[in-house]
Structure formats: C-alpha cells, structure tokens
C-alpha cells in the first residue's frame, strides 16, 4: 500500500477513536444528569491499616457520581470468602466493571471465570492473583512489592557499609504481612534475598497481619526469644508502630546505633503523618513508599476501556524511599539506580497533604 494512503487510513482511525471517546464523555455528562452511570463493583479487602483507609478514600473519591460512576463498595473484612461473595453479587447486579483488591493471591480462578462468562471485565488493584490463566482478568495496577523490599534492603546494606558494620553483626527479624498477600510475598522475599546475598542473620519471620496490635504482639515475642536482634523489618507502618511500642516498653531504644544497643526499624507505606515524623525523629530508619492513590489510576483504565483502548496488562506505580539521614544518596537494584529521599518537615507535610492526613 502507498505510504500516503496508509497515513490517511491511520489518521481516519484515530479520528474515529477520538469521536467515540467524545461521544462517551458526552454520554457520561448526560448520565450525571440523572441518566445511566458506569456501575463499578469494588471489592476492597478490608480496613487493616492507614494505607488501606487512604486507598479506600482514593477509590471512593474517584468513583463518585460527579465523575460519572455508580460505585458499589464491599469491604471483605480480610476474608476471601466475603470477597468471592461480593463478586458473585456484582455479577448478579450486572455491574459494568468489577474492581478487586484481593486479600491473598490464590483461589480466585472459579469466580473470575464466572465474571468472564458474564462478560464483565475485572480490574485488579493493589494486589495480584495467582492464576495460570491471565485472561481471567483484564489488567492490574499496583505496587511492585518485591522491588520495594529490594530497595529498602539495598539501602540498609549501603548504610551499614558506610557505618562500618559487618554483615555478621546484623541480626534481623521480619514482621510479615498477612501470609499469602502479594505485599507480604514480595516484601518477605526482599529480606530473605538480602539476608542470603549480603550475609545477615535472618533470625525469624512471623506474620503481623499488617496491624499495629499484631505487630506489637509479634515484636514482644521476638524480643523475648532473640535478645541479640538489632534490626526489625516490618512489612508496613502500622506493624512498625506496634513494634516500636513493644521495644520501648521492654526498655530498649529504637535508632540506628545498632552496635550500641539500638534496634533499627525498617518499614513500608509512608502514608501516615506519624510514620513520616518517626523517620525525622530517627525512630524509623527507612520507609519504602507504597502509594495508595489508585482511584484515578483505575478510573483512567476504565475510561480507556470505554473508548475501546486496551490498557497495559500490568502497571506498576513508581515509588520512593524515605530515610532518616543523608548517609546514602541512592541505591542500585537489578542494575537500576533509585534516588533516596531524606525526610524533612517540609517533605513530610507535602506527603501528608498528598495522602490526605
Ligand atoms: O497491599 C498493600 C499493603 O496492604 C500496605 O502496605 C499495607 O499497609 C496494607 O495493609
């Protein structure tokens, strides 16, 4: 085909696509005025952490009536059976889209097949499902949890080296998230990999379910069982709050001088203003950011699908590392360089505003 003819054809197709999108936008505006909205069934996994609250808020704000949506929100209360029930109800209600934040990775094939047979696209948000059939979901948007873990541990390695602390002096315990969740699998793998690779002693790993209460309980156990521990790798900030409480109640100090009795805390999320303040106060040495603002991201995906545009199968959010001082300026993971943000009042205020707390 002649080049010019091909160009005209491509331009024509783009115009048709834009017209279709414009038509859709107009129809959303009309729907907003009392006609049909896009109905989205969102199965949220629970309300275990500050991160989760920020995520729910972001989703509810994005899927408002003003934005052209009718949101049906279901809280799974940490139970996969509740989430499966919610999806079946969404199918019966003939929603336009199902959005699922799965509590754990396995066991979704049957219900996702039911959604597929009903012709309802399923968008995964935050966490993944473990399936051999990737056609069962339309796409995923969320964090790369293993990368988060690798970045935080790469920071720890670089920091210890600069402070002249030998790997064999490092005795780490890991308070994990709820077992089987993508965030837990990725972050636990991060510390397991680092310990094996860098020669740290990984004393123990136990689930703290991403909550402050369980984080504290697990830390109390670790303190009694492993008096030599000097680093605690918590898989979210709420667990860190619990761990810090337990450490201080045991008469020990959180900090970075681990050769003189401090216990160093590493954490993930960076959503709560208190956690960011803890970094400034050197109670938490390092937080791997986990960004919860997925509402607009999922809405963009739905708008693309409405326009007939296929979104990427997997979209990972880019995230920062927050640290207490400037000893380490950047870290290298799998051949890529990541800059490190030193936490200050100014940065903390900006972040707290961004996350709405
Ligand atoms: O899946 C994201 C994780 O789940 C967040 O790190 C944690 O706080 C939440 O509960």
Q: Within 163-310, where are the H helices?
A: 182-198, 212-225, 237-249, 273-280, 295-306
Do the bridges between strand 122-126 and strand 139-142 make them parallel or antiparallel, or are there none, so unpaired?
A: parallel
- Which residue's alpha carbon is nearest to atom 2 within ligand 1? 183
Alpha-carbon gap, residue 311 to 92, rounded angstroms: 26
Task: Over range 2-7, report the average pLDDT.
Answer: 41
Residues 78 and 191 in one domain: no
Tokens of 291: 């960004």
Closest atom of ligand 1 relative to the 210 alpha carbon: 10
* Section 49-64 average pLDDT: 97
Ligand 1, atom 1: nearest CA belongs to which residue?
183
| pLDDT tens per residue, range 7-46 | 343 344 344 444 445 545 544 454 445 468 999 999 999 9
pLDDT score at 356: 73
pLDDT for residue 241: 98
CA distance linking residue 281 with residue 1, whole number of Å:
67
Do 343 and 209 share a structural domain?
Answer: yes
What distance in angstroms lies between residue 49's CA and the mean position of ligand 1's atoms? 7
Distance of CA 245 to the CA centre of its chain: 24
pLDDT of residue 89: 98
Say yes or no: CB of residue 145 within 6 Å of ligand 1. no
Same domain, 116 and 240: no
User: pTM for this structure?
Assistant: 0.91
124 and 11: one domain? yes
The H helix count followed by the E strand count for the chain is: 11, 15
User: Which range of residues forms the domain containing residue 220?
Assistant: 145-290+325-354
Please give the pLDDT value at position 288.
98
Looking at the structure, tell me whether residues 349 and 217 fall in a common domain: yes
User: Same structural domain for residues 20 and 85?
Assistant: yes
Are residues 276 and 175 both part of a single domain? yes
Give residue for tokens 């123990």. 204
Residue 187 Cβ < 6 Å to ligand 1 = no
What is the predicted pLDDT for the residue at 352? 82
Which residue in this structure is represented by tokens 């929603």?
A: 95
Tally the domains of the chain: 2
pLDDT at 122 over 80: yes
CA-nearest of 277, 177, 297 to 236 is: 177
| Average pLDDT, integer, range 115-120 | 98
Tell me which residue has its CA closest to atom 3 in ligand 1: 183
* Predicted pLDDT at 30: 45
Q: Is the CB of 268 within 6 Å of ligand 1?
A: yes
Summarised one tens digit per residue, pLDDT across range 214-245 is: 999 999 999 999 999 999 999 999 999 999 99
CA distance 77 to 24: 35
pLDDT value, residue 27: 45
* Pair 71, 96: CB distance under 8 Å: no
Tens-digit pLDDT profile for residues 73-105: 999 999 999 999 999 999 999 999 999 999 999
Task: Provide the CATH number for the domain around residue 78.
Answer: 3.40.50.2300
Average pLDDT of the residues in 190-194: 98
Task: Give residue for tokens 């209360």.
Answer: 77
Q: Flag whether pLDDT at 59 surpasses 50.
A: yes
305 and 273, same structural domain?
Answer: no
Query: Are 168 and 301 in the same domain?
Result: no
Cite the beta strand spans of 270-356 per DSSP E.
Answer: 286-289, 314-316, 321-323, 330-333, 336-339, 341-342
* Same domain for 171 and 221: yes
């Amino acid at each position: 085909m002649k080049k010019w003819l091909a160009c005209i054809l491509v331009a024509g197709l783009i115009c048709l696509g834009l017209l279709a999108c414009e038509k859709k936008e107009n129809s959303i505006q009309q729907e907003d005025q009392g006609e049909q909205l896009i109905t989205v069934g969102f199965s949220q996994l629970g309300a275990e952490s500050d991160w989760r609250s920020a995520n729910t808020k972001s989703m509810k704000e994005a899927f408002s009536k003003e934005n052209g949506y009718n949101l049906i929100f279901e809280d799974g209360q940490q139970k996969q059976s509740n989430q499966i029930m919610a999806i079946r109800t969404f199918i019966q209600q003939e929603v336009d889209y199902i959005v699922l934040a799965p509590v754990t990775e396995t066991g979704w094939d049957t219900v996702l097949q039911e959604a597929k047979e009903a012709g309802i696209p399923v968008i995964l948000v935050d966490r993944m499902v473990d399936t051999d059939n990737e056609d069962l979901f339309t796409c995923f948007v969320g964090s790369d949890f293993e990368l988060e873990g690798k970045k935080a541990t790469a920071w720890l390695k670089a920091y210890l080296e600069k402070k002249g602390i030998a790997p064999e002096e490092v005795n780490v315990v890991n308070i994990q998230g709820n077992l089987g969740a993508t965030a837990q699998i990725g972050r636990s793998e991060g510390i397991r990999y680092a310990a094996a690779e860098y020669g740290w002693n990984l004393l123990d790993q136990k689930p703290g379910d991403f909550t402050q209460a369980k984080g504290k309980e697990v830390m109390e156990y670790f303190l009694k069982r492993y008096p030599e521990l000097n680093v605690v790798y918590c898989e979210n900030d709420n667990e860190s709050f619990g761990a810090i409480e337990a450490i201080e109640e045991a008469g020990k100090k959180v900090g970075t001088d681990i050769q003189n009795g401090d216990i160093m805390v590493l954490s993930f999320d960076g959503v709560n203003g208190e956690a960011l303040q803890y970094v400034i106060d050197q109670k938490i040495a390092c937080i791997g950011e986990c960004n919860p603002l997925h509402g607009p991201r999922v809405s963009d995906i739905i708008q693309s699908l409405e326009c007939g545009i296929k979104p990427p199968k997997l979209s990972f959010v880019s995230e920062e590392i927050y640290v207490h001082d400037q000893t380490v300026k950047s870290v290298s993971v799998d051949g890529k360089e990541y800059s490190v943000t030193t936490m200050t009042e100014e940065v903390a205020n900006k972040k707290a505003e961004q996350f709405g707390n």
